[in-house]
Amino acid sequence: MSRLDARLGIWLLVAALAVAFVLLGSGLDMAYVIPRRLTRLAAIGVAGVCIGCSSVIFQTLTGNRILTPAIMGYEAVYLLFQALLILLIGTHSLILLGRHGNVWLSILLMLGYSWLLHRWLLRDGRQNVYLLLLVGLVLSLVLSTLTQFIQLKVSPGEFSILQGFNYASFNKAQPLQVAYSAVLAALACLVVRRTLPVLDVLALGRDQAIVLGVDHLRAVSVQMAVIAVLVAVSTSLIGPTAFMGVFVANLTYTLARTFRHRVTLPLASGVAMALFIVAQYLVEQAFNYNMSVNILINLVCGAYFLALMTRTRGTA
């Protein structure tokens, strides 16, 4: 029954945090403060689902609990694109493309990158997920270095704009962007919903999945596509989250005490949302925006996870 408690508990917690986040210190200002906070809350909801689900699914496919989709280089593509825009067109690019033009181009680029990577590496039945990971990692290193190279070439003003892209932030979110991000994420979730039992089988590994009658190559391709959509949506919405997903996924496994994706995926979404709300609240109220969500979450989760590992002697 503790399983049920964790599931129910996390959503009660998310609900309580959400109410507190919107109302605390708002002065009930319906004209400006509350609508803005609701937008940020919605962005947190969408990003929570994206990061929670993509991390857990990615760890299932790779059979590895210390990885997130960031290793595949999606975020590096996003950052390189932003750097190239600034280098080639300068800060005008922000106006030229408009916020939404930039977002859609980023999403399309990340999806295209993922499609090329899979086409190249999963072709002719070479079903080696580790090769995919290795190439993804090397590519993301190369792309990040390129980005750094460009950052050193631009003016200090432009450099500070680029720095802003490096950290996750919910402050950039605009209602329209949150809306279409939500639609994309919902479509990805519909696919996941239909393949929940297959995900459970994929967790047993390639051989066992084939033995149990799963078309492994096809199933992995579908899930990788879902991950690409979720990561593209969250990265374009709030920026790169790097390895935050590791904490989210591992906290989820500890709370869920089961591998079933029917349980872990919603729970991971809830955990991510709760963390984001708390971090964003602290950024806004305690640190007056002089702090990034990444730093807070990595700090708090890292400490909590270490404590968990010591207390349970590594079985967490």
Helix (H, G, I), strand (E, B) or coil at 144: helix
Helix (H, G, I), strand (E, B) or coil at 32: coil
Contact present, 71 and 248 (Cβ < 8 Å): no
Residue type, 291: M
Q: Which two tokens stand for residue 233?
A: 């949506």
Q: String of b and e for 37-58 (b: at least 16 CB within 10 Å)? A: bebbbbbbbbbbbbbbbbbbbb
For residue 207, state whether it binds other proteins (rule: CB under 8 A).
yes
Measured from the CB atom, is 214 or 249 closer to other proteins? 214
Measured from the CB atom, is 29 or 215 closer to other proteins? 215
Q: How buried is residue 155: exposed, middle or buried, by Cβ count under 10 Å (0-12/13-18/19+)? A: exposed
Helix (H, G, I), strand (E, B) or coil at 310: helix
Task: Return the residue of 99, 197, 310, 312 that touches other proteins, per CB under 8 A.
Answer: 197
The least CB distance from residue 123 to other proteins, in Å, is 15
The pattern of x and - marking residues 94 through 113 that bind other proteins according to CB under 8 A reads --------------------
Which DSSP string corresponds to 213-272? T--HHHHHHHHHHHHHHHHHHHHHHH---TTHHHHHHHHHHHHH-S--HHHHHHHHHHHH
What letter does residue 30 receive in the DSSP assignment? T
Task: Return the residue of 19, 20, 176, 211 that touches other proteins, per CB under 8 A.
Answer: 211
Task: Return the residue of 182, 185, 214, 293 that touches other proteins, per CB under 8 A.
Answer: 214
For residue 212, state whether it binds other proteins (rule: CB under 8 A).
yes
Contact present, 195 and 301 (Cβ < 8 Å): no
For residue 208, state whether it binds other proteins (rule: CB under 8 A).
yes
For residue 124, state whether it binds other proteins (rule: CB under 8 A).
no
Name the segment binding other proteins (CB under 8 A); options: 77-85, 86-94, 194-202, 294-302.
194-202
The least CB distance from residue 195 to other proteins, in Å, is 10
Place of tokens 């349980």: 263
The kind and range of the H/E element at 48 are helix 33-62
DSSP H helices in 63-128: 74-89, 92-121
Task: Return the residue of 27, 125, 156, 314 that touches other proteins, per CB under 8 A.
Answer: 125
For residue 314, state whether it binds other proteins (rule: CB under 8 A).
no
Name the segment binding other proteins (CB under 8 A); options: 51-59, 76-84, 196-204, 294-302.
196-204
Measured from the CB atom, is 98 or 197 closer to other proteins? 197
For residue 200, state whether it binds other proteins (rule: CB under 8 A).
yes
Question: In whole angstroms, what is the distance from residue 131 CA to residue 27 CA?
Answer: 54
Name the segment binding other proteins (CB under 8 A); options: 29-37, 159-167, 204-212, 241-249.
204-212
Measured from the CB atom, is 27 or 125 closer to other proteins? 125
Measured from the CB atom, is 33 or 204 closer to other proteins? 204
What part of residues 248-277 is at the interface with other proteins (CB under 8 A)? Answer: 253, 257-259
Place of tokens 């991390």: 55
Measured from the CB atom, is 200 or 281 closer to other proteins? 200
Count of positions on this chain that bind other proteins (CB under 8 A)? 20
Interface positions with other proteins (CB under 8 A): 125, 196-198, 200-201, 203-204, 207-208, 210-215, 253, 257-259
